[in-house]
Amino acid sequence: MNWDQFFVPYEQTVTELKVKLRGLREQYEQDGENSPIEFVTGRVKSQASIEEKIIRRHLDESRLALDLQDIAGVRVMTKYVEDVYRVVELLRERSDFQILEERDYVMNAKPSGYRSYHIVIEYPVQMYHGEKKVLAEIQVRTIAMNVWATIEHDLRYKHGNELPADMAEQLTSLADENFEWDQRVSEIRAAE
Amino acid sequence: MNWDQFFVPYEQTVTELKVKLRGLREQYEQDGENSPIEFVTGRVKSQASIEEKIIRRHLDESRLALDLQDIAGVRVMTKYVEDVYRVVELLRERSDFQILEERDYVMNAKPSGYRSYHIVIEYPVQMYHGEKKVLAEIQVRTIAMNVWATIEHDLRYKHGNELPADMAEQLTSLADENFEWDQRVSEIRAAE
Amino acid sequence: MNWDQFFVPYEQTVTELKVKLRGLREQYEQDGENSPIEFVTGRVKSQASIEEKIIRRHLDESRLALDLQDIAGVRVMTKYVEDVYRVVELLRERSDFQILEERDYVMNAKPSGYRSYHIVIEYPVQMYHGEKKVLAEIQVRTIAMNVWATIEHDLRYKHGNELPADMAEQLTSLADENFEWDQRVSEIRAAE
Amino acid sequence: MNWDQFFVPYEQTVTELKVKLRGLREQYEQDGENSPIEFVTGRVKSQASIEEKIIRRHLDESRLALDLQDIAGVRVMTKYVEDVYRVVELLRERSDFQILEERDYVMNAKPSGYRSYHIVIEYPVQMYHGEKKVLAEIQVRTIAMNVWATIEHDLRYKHGNELPADMAEQLTSLADENFEWDQRVSEIRAAE
């Protein structure tokens, strides 16, 4: 398998989505409106991480493009919880990709405490031999949720992807407090 | 007129087109194929230059988006004359914009000696309040044609946009030699 | 005063510092080391904001480059509080700029609750007519501190730069909780 | 040998030099001056190309950083031949690197017809464990010389790095004509 070739449409998808979503923020600013988008990041899943999933989930290499929905991943961070839903609305109204699936882990956190709004899209990339539809995952979360996810990811990674039970528990409770914090921010802001 | 707001969709169009066309080059490289695209540049017409055109051509500010087709401009440079037409073919096959007009100044140079293939497209930009169709001009030319155009533009600019007759004549003859040079390159290449 | 010209060395300083500090992160990654730098942002103070300061502080336009230390500003975000000090150490060891001043608002928060480590540097930019020394401010903070600062800035901005007293108080208490949260993260991490 | 680690300071050097030299162009523009710098590119030599040189020139892996002066390479393109020397002057006056060597292949073309001004510098990169001096090569040439070099490189590459004698001869004569063309441009410009 030629991985460099495999990644080309995914790299392109991530690059285009970043440029498009960052452009929205710019538009809000020029209009003097407050942007629900604070910043945007993106990454293509690493070869090592894909190979690990192939083994763990018994995936077929020829079906990777269908079975892995997050090879291309883009993250949109918002200041406020309510802005997560403004971004979701913005994404639903776009005509440059199709939404295949939405999962609201903001209101329904994962057992770990993880919160984010996940949207799987089908994005058409123009290759030199024609259009190719690529699956991509857009995660929308507040900057506070992103802090927790960054730290949880880092600590999990250092423990070989498996957190000790007590550490996992403490992190879940940090996630809960984090969300309460986010909600108090929204209350302060609404009281303006 | 709020120019900063006016330019937002044009800036976005140029950014997206640059990212898309540069991505093609990357794809050719990963496939081990020779890319017809050598490099890509882009620019949005300056406010000063638009205002000058409004006056000179008696344009109506409210119709700028229709009357000026090159507010958003992207340039694709190729190594060889024959690659200009490979790029044109690539652009025709894309499904992310509509081609409105093509003008072949490569085979039919302008009186000044200028050569380039011009394509006017209608490009859909996703704004936060919906899709907006933007006109943009894509110019395709060899890197040698681009050298001449760069120098002619620079000398013309220094003479207040109006070249002295003898200088214009000499530049036209430099353009002709430039094109013969390009054709000899193609012959050498074809003889391989 | 020609503001576009005025900003050139500041824009250049911010661009160079961003590229340099992001490069460090890349180096840690290639070495398989955990990077104390999570991400880096930068901005040049806006003309409007400088003009507002000139009036409010009775500054002399000819002394701006000396009296305003944060026209060029770069921010380094870390995952952990202890990484703030690793970054400060890194900055102290560099030989491409001089540190003029350090202020530790991480351990000694401002009355508002704001936390960050501030470093004022003198950075030599190479202009075409020679070297020019530019003052710049580097702020180092955790990603959690950055969340609070982002939200406080946004709410303050919406209230014309002056927060209502009760809102200011609530934000200070959110800052305190935020810092406790950061410290618990450090404890969990240290217990590994 | 860990190539990814090996390349880190070279990648960093190229990134910093590109940002610095592009900044100069920006400065000329804001000053309303004509910039001798038209555009800047950069690349790090590929692993394959270094390994090929190790074999061909019997190099010692431990001495690569000393024996290969162009692992980090930056190219500055100018519109006019006389601007090549303005850029060389600019580079000589900078205090952020040391010039080790200069070779003028503009006035003294290589037998192939190749023209460019080569400067080898020693550039200090700040790594996280201290400063590291890196050799880098800056090539300065007109955009016309760059066209010829691009085409010659492409044709040579397709012939396994060894051009057939008649093709090499034809390319040399194209290089000579190219230089005459460049000189006529300078004459037209001087006659202004």
Residue in the structure block whose two tokens are 């190099």 = D59
Q: What are the strands, taking DSSP E only, across chain A?
A: 39-44, 72-78, 98-104, 117-127, 130-142
Residue A183: helix, strand or coil by DSSP? helix
Tell me which residue in A23, A127, A128 faces B12 most closely, judged by beta carbons: A23
Q: Are residues D79 and B191, on separate chains, in Cβ contact within 8 Å?
A: no
What three-state secondary structure class fits A145? helix
Closest residue, chain C, to A150 (C-alpha): C79
Please give the interface size between B and D, counted as residue pairs whose CB atoms are below 8 Å apart.
Answer: 63
Quick one: which of D36, D73, D61 has its CA closest to D153? D73
Residue A189 sits at the chain C interface (C-beta within 8 Å): yes
- Cβ neighbours of A93 in B, within 8 Å: 130
| Least confident range of A16-25, C12-21, C55-64 | C55-64
Q: Is A24 on the interface with B (CB under 8 A)?
A: yes
User: B41 to each of A26, B17, B38, D30, D78, how far by Cα in Å?
Assistant: 21, 10, 10, 20, 16
- Is-contact B35 B28, C-beta < 8 A? yes
> Rg of chain C over CA atoms, in angstroms?
18
List, by residue number, the catalytic residues of A: 137
Return the residue in D126, D132, D133 with the most chain C beta carbons within 10 A, the one to mutate for interface testing. D126
Chains C and D touch (3+ CB pairs under 8 A): yes
Shortest alpha-carbon distance between residue B76 and chain D (Å): 15
The answer to whether residue A192 scores a pLDDT higher than 70 is no
Q: Which residues of B touch D171 (CB under 8 A)?
A: 188
> For an interface test with B, which of D28, D35, D78, D151 has the most B Cβ atoms less than 10 Å from its Cβ?
D151
Q: Do chains B and A touch (3 or more CB pairs under 8 A)?
A: yes
Judged by CB atoms closer than 8 Å, whether chains meet at D174 and B185 is answered as yes
Contact (CB<8Å) B128/A27: yes
Q: Domain ranges in chain B?
A: 3-144
Is 90 exceeded by the pLDDT of residue B76? yes
Which of A93, A124, A130 lies closest to B130 in CB terms?
A: A93
pTM: 0.96
Q: Which chains touch D (3 or more CB pairs under 8 A)?
A: B, C
* CATH T-level fold of A3-143: Beta Polymerase; domain 2 (3.30.460)
Flag if D30 and C127 touch (Cβ within 8 Å).
no
CA dist B17 and C143 (Å) reads: 33
Q: What is the structure's pLDDT at B192? A: 62
pLDDT in tens, B128-138: 999 999 999 99
**Helix, strand, coil percentages, rounded to 5, for chain B:** 50, 25, 25
Chain D nearest C-alpha distance from B151 (Å): 7
Report whether D74 contacts D138 (CB < 8 A): yes
pLDDT for res B61: 86
DSSP H helices in chain D: 3-30, 47-56, 64-67, 81-93, 143-158, 165-190
Question: Does position D192 have pLDDT exceeding 80, yes or no?
Answer: no
Residue D182 has pLDDT above 70, yes or no: yes
The partner residue sitting opposite D150, judged by closest CB among B143, B170, B171, is: B143
- Is the predicted pLDDT of residue D62 greater than 80, yes or no? yes
- Cα gap D14→D16, rounded to integer Å: 6
- The DSSP output letter for A46 is P
> What length does chain C have?
192
Q: Is the pLDDT of residue C62 over 90?
A: no
Answer whether D24 sits within 8 Å of C128, measured CB to CB: yes
Neighbours of chain A (3+ CB pairs under 8 A): B, C
D61 is catalytic: no
pLDDT at C173 over 90: yes
Per-residue pLDDT tens digits for B54-72: 999 999 988 998 889 999 9
What gap in Å lies between CA A42 and CA D99, rounded to an integer?
Answer: 39
The stretch B127-149 carries a mean pLDDT of 97
Choose among A8, A20, A131: nearest Cβ to B126.
Answer: A20
User: Under CATH, what is the fold of the domain B3-144?
Assistant: Beta Polymerase; domain 2 (3.30.460)
Select the residue from D46, D77, D185 to test the B interface by mutation, using most B Cβ atoms within 10 A: D185
pLDDT-derived band of residue D61, with 50, 70 and 90 as boundaries? confident
Answer yes or no: do B188 and D181 touch at CB < 8 A. Answer: no
State how far residue B167 is from chain D, nearest Cα, in angstroms. 7
Q: Cα(D93)–Cα(D31) distance, rounded to whole angstroms?
A: 19
Dihedral sign of CA atoms A76, B14, D39, D93 in order? negative
Amino acid D142: pLDDT: 98
Find the CB nearest A95 among B4, B20, B126. B126
pLDDT at residue number B8: 97
Say whether residue B95 is in contact with chain A using an 8 A CB cutoff.
Answer: yes
Using CA atoms, how far apart are residues A174 and B42, in angstroms rounded to an integer? 47
In a mutagenesis test of the C interface, which of A34, A181, A182 is the best target, namely the one with the most C β-carbons within 10 Å? A181
D3 touches chain C (CB under 8 A): no
Range with the poorest average pLDDT among B19-33, C149-163, D54-68, D95-109: D54-68
Average pLDDT rounded to a whole number, residues D126-130: 96
Residue A116's nearest CA partner among A73, A158, A64, A53 is: A73
DSSP string, C65-116: HHH-S-SEEEEEEESSHHHHHHHHHHHHH-SSSEEEEEEETTTS--TT----
